Amino acid sequence: MSIIESNLDEKRSFSPSKHSKGNANLTKEDLIKLNKQFHTDNNKTWADLANTHILWDKNFTNVVSGEAPFYKWFSDGRLNVSKNCVDRHINKKNSAIIHIAENGERRVLSYSELYAYVNKFSYALSQLGLCCGDRVIIYMPTIPESIVAMLSCARLGLIHSVVFAGFSANALRERIVDCKAKIVITVDAFKRSGKIINSKDIVDNAIKVDCDFVENVIVYENHASLSDKKSRDLVWDDILPTCDINVEPISMSSDSLLFILYTSGSTGKPKGIMHASGGYLLNCILTNKWVFDLKDQDIFWCTADIGWITGHSYVVYGPLACGATILIYDGAPLFPHSNRFWEIIQDNKVSIFYTAPTAIRTLMKVGEDEPKNYNLKSLRILGTVGEPINPKAWMWYYEKIGNGQCPIVDTWWQTETGANMIAPIPGINTLIPGTCTSALPGIDATIVDVNGAQLTQPNQGGDLVIKKPWPSMLTGIWGDDERYVQTYWSKYSSKYYVTGDTARYDENGNIWIMGRSDDVVNVSGHRLGTMEIESALVSHELVAEAAVVSYKHEIKGEAIHAFISLKNNPKNKNELADILREWVSIKIGSIAKPERVSFSDSLPKTRSGKIMRRLLRNLARNERVTGDTSTLENESIIDQLKEIV
Ligand code: WTA
């Protein structure tokens, strides 16, 4: 069986409104011209864009070089990413950062204040005897200081690795050890949902044994004064110079590493995804301008934590390199009340809002009609990322948050791709709930069958691959070239970058992501993407979230087990299970009917909101739950699920 069947049929579509067409950074004419240019001369087009959008210290002559798949972009060019993000905007009138704390405190930094701060902290770091290429772990919440730390590393040619502040000591340790970090930057503590998280204690635990290579821990006193100061500890404010000081940004080669970001593989140890400087920055800038239509007067709120790639590309590097204003919220979405997001948008006149389907579904669950009590008129573009968005959530986002006026940019990309790859351009693409539409200019994405042949017919699912290298692609996995080649390039004899996702085209050439390739079930010889079944389930009014996996079945080969969390507790679960089976059968066909249905309070999710189907597969198949569970948002749910399955 070489293709995956698709049974999802979404008929609603939304043509670009006049409102979203006016004054766009990328018009339809520009897009047509650009696509033509890429078609005629791919490398020259990337080179022209890099020359236009990046401030180079030394111009490049090489566009793409290196031995496949170890590509290098603009390799003989030199630049400094921090200079691109800060120095070139110091005279701008708009603010750089608006920071909202969980307790509601608001702090605003102009570009010149950000410049002064980055220089001061760069000076402090430069006094610690570090060399270009040394690794620095940043284990902090999303506050201005963590952004200052990232930009200061970039200024000095230090490679940062931001670790999500919600990770455990074990997860943190694994990352510190893997990249042999010389410095860890953290906070004493921070608050989440009103609860104190003692980050510094977690760091101390993480490096308690066999971590002598960590020379210093720098602590920003975010909550209180640092107690229990160890000899290697330095307090942020103590090492900051008291007067303004300028630290010359180091001119880095374009292919020198900017950062490592760990992503958990489905099994085994996390992968340290490496990103270099010039190429990464280019796609960040372009996609912020094209997909989000980002302008100086916008207030861009991307809700991602800086510990994720979305936080790197759409909170820090992309928007700042464009000289725009970012809003960061350092708090929980539902604290102290479930309308926190809408309140922040209203009070700060946010114009671009970018979040994840899991957040949208959560907010829908807690207050479907609440947004109408807030003035959300400042919004002009809405974005989503991280998972396929089910049409029901899409419609709610479009109607209740965007008031039917704001295009939704459903952006498909990965930690590895560095920036958006497949996404609509507002004002150009017709939107259909659930599709991320088409590949961006210069991105050669296609869908292939198991033999690597391009699928041309609509509604046949296959592997989503990228045929040509692109500037912001990962440059490898830290310390593991073989795993890099094996994971991303080996499946189709090194011809394509293999995304690990499955997808299909519809009749209009739109790309629909069907899920990860491991998330495919094979029922009676029909390969079905689990995402479509999940989407059908969550379109039922009682269902909040659904995850579907398969288990071995004597007759069907594989049968479907649906894990479901509900909006409210039903009276009769067996009856509801039957209703939902029938529902799927009407929506998709009886082939997709779940054999088993389990109800639980929530589903096991990663900290970035992705459902860990791997764990559910273990449970459905009566296997031991294997692999790393330390990055789970709600570890205790596994015990609850074990009881009911
Ligand atoms: C999934 C997040 C459908 C996909 C930027 C991908 C999506 C993985 C979308 C990468 C989308 C991301 N529609 N699926 N718009 N965006 N994904 O590395 O499976 O955290 O491979 O990067 O998320 O997740 P990562």
What mean pLDDT is predicted for residues 247-272? Answer: 89
Q: Is 451 helix (H, G, I), strand (E, B) or coil?
A: coil
Whether 174 has a pLDDT exceeding 60, the answer reads yes
Name which of 66-80, 253-267, 291-305, 494-508 the model is least confident about: 253-267
Tell whether the model's pLDDT for residue 385 goes beyond 80: yes
Q: How many angstroms separate the CA atoms of 459 and 278, rounded?
A: 37
- 534 and 431, same structural domain? no
Closest by CA to 426, choosing from 300, 289, 283, is: 289
| One domain for residues 266 and 135 | yes
The string of DSSP letters for 109-126 reads: EEHHHHHHHHHHHHHHHH
Residue 238 lies in a domain: yes
Between 18 and 589, the higher pLDDT residue: 589
**Domain contains 352:** yes
On the question of pLDDT at 27 being above 60, the answer is: yes
CA-closest residue to ligand 1 atom 15? 412
Question: What six digits make up the tokens of 501?
Answer: 């996702």
Ligand 1 centroid from CA 264, angstroms: 13
Closest residue (by CA) to atom 8 of ligand 1? 414
Phi-psi region of 325 (alpha: psi -120 to 50; beta: other; left: phi over 0): beta
Q: Is the pLDDT of residue 524 over 90?
A: no
Nearest to 275 by CA among 413, 129, 386, 166: 413
pLDDT at 2: 59
Kindly list the protein residues whose Cβ atom lies closer than 6 A to any atom of ligand 1. Answer: 263, 309-310, 385-388, 410-415, 436, 499-501, 513, 516, 608
Q: Which of 39-53, 440-454, 568-582 has the lowest mean pLDDT?
A: 568-582
Task: Check whether 6 has a pLDDT greater than 80.
Answer: no
Q: Which of 72, 19, 34 is nearest to 286 (CA)?
A: 34
Q: Mark whether 175 and 324 lie in a shared domain.
A: yes
Same domain for 420 and 528, yes or no, is no
Rounded-to-integer distance, Cα 348 and Cα 560, Å: 45
For the CA of 513, the nearest atom of ligand 1: 3
Name the domain boundary from 430, 445, 460.
445
Ligand 1 centroid, distance to 258 Cα (angstroms): 22
Tell me how far the alpha carbon of residue 516 lies from the centroid of ligand 1, in angstroms: 9
From the CA of 460, how far away is ligand 1's center (Å)?
20
User: Is residue 259 pLDDT above 90, yes or no?
Assistant: yes
Q: How confident is the model at residue 214 (pLDDT cuts 50, 70, 90)?
A: very high
Rounded to the nearest whole angstrom, what is the distance from the C-alpha of residue 201 to the centroid of ligand 1? 32
550 in the same domain as 409? no
CATH code of the domain covering residue 636: 3.30.300.30
* Domain count for the chain: 2
In the prediction, which pLDDT does 1 show? Answer: 46
Q: To the nearest whole percent, how much of the chain has pLDDT over 70?
A: 98
Report CA(314)–ligand 1 centroid distance (Å). 14
For 128-132, 158-162, 364-368, 625-629, which range has the lowest pLDDT when averaged over its residues? 625-629
Domain annotation covers residue 184: yes
Amino acid letter, residue 122: S
Pocket probe mutation, ligand 1, options 260, 306, 354, 413, max atoms within 8 Å of Cβ: 413
> Among the atoms of ligand 1, which is closest to the Cα of residue 500?
21
The answer to the question of residue 604 being in a domain is yes
What's the gap in Å between 465 CA and the centre of ligand 1?
14
Whether 577 maps to a domain, the answer reads: yes
Which residue CA neighbors atom 3 of ligand 1 most closely?
Answer: 388
The Cα 501–Cα 636 span in angstroms is 29
SS (H, E, C) 321-388: HCCCEEEEEECCCCCCCCCHHHHHHHHHCCCEEEECHHHHHHHHHHCCCHHHHCCCCCCCEEEECCCC
Q: Is 311 exposed, middle or buried (0-12, 13-18, 19+ CB in 10 A)?
A: buried
Instruction: Give the end of a domain, one of 426, 445, 464.
Output: 445
Residue nearest to atom 14 of ligand 1 (CA): 387
CATH of the domain at 386: 3.40.50.12780
Judged by DSSP in three states, 2 sits in coil
| Banded model confidence at residue 412, pLDDT cuts 50, 70, 90 | very high
- Is residue 230 domain-shared with residue 339, that is, in the same domain? yes
Give a yes or no: residue 500 inside a domain. no
**Cα 324 to chain center, whole Å?**
20
**Per-residue confidence at 22, pLDDT binned at 50, 70, 90?**
low
Segment 9-37 mean pLDDT: 86
Residues 440 and 539 in one domain: no
Which comes out higher in pLDDT, residue 85 or 18?
Answer: 85
**Does 431 lie in the same domain as 526?**
no
Greater model confidence, 189 or 644: 189
pLDDT at position 642 = 86
Residue 522, SS3? strand
Q: What is the pTM of this model?
A: 0.91
What atom of ligand 1 comes closest to residue 411's alpha carbon? 15
Q: Ligand 1 atom 24: the closest Cα is on which residue?
A: 414
Same domain, 144 and 278: yes
Residue 113 Cα to ligand 1 midpoint, Å, equals: 34
Q: By alpha-carbon position, which residue is closest to atom 4 of ligand 1?
A: 387
Q: Is residue 568 domain-shared with residue 441, that is, in the same domain?
A: no
Domain that holds residue 221: 13-47+73-445
Q: How many CB atoms within 10 Å of residue 49?
A: 20
pLDDT in tens, 549-601: 999 888 778 899 999 999 888 788 999 999 999 999 888 878 889 999 999 98
Cα-Cα-Cα-Cα torsion 610, 615, 621, 623, nearest 10 degrees, comes to 170
> Atom 7 of ligand 1 has which residue's CA nearest to it?
387
Tokens of residue 94, six digits? 């708009």
**106 and 240 in a common domain:** yes
| DSSP-derived pairing of the beta strands 190-192 and 299-302 | unpaired
Write down the number of H helices and E strands in the chain: 20, 31
SS (H, E, C) 385-431: CCCCCCHHHHHHHHHHHCCCCCCEEECECCCCCCCCCECCCCCCCCE
The fraction of the chain above a pLDDT of 90, given in percent, is 79
Domain boundary among 445, 475, 510: 445
Q: Is it the case that residue 608 has pLDDT exceeding 90?
A: no
Residues 260 and 352 both lie in one domain:
yes
- What separation in Å is there between the alpha carbon of 384 and the centre of ligand 1? 10
Tell how far the Cα of 109 is from the centroid of ligand 1, in angstroms: 31
What pLDDT, on the 0 to 100 scale, is given for residue 73?
A: 98
In a domain, 1, yes or no: no
437 lies in a domain?
yes
> Taking all residues of the chain, what is their mean pLDDT, rounded to a whole number?
93
3-state secondary structure of 564: strand
Residue 268 pLDDT grade (very low, low, confident, very high; cuts 50, 70, 90): low
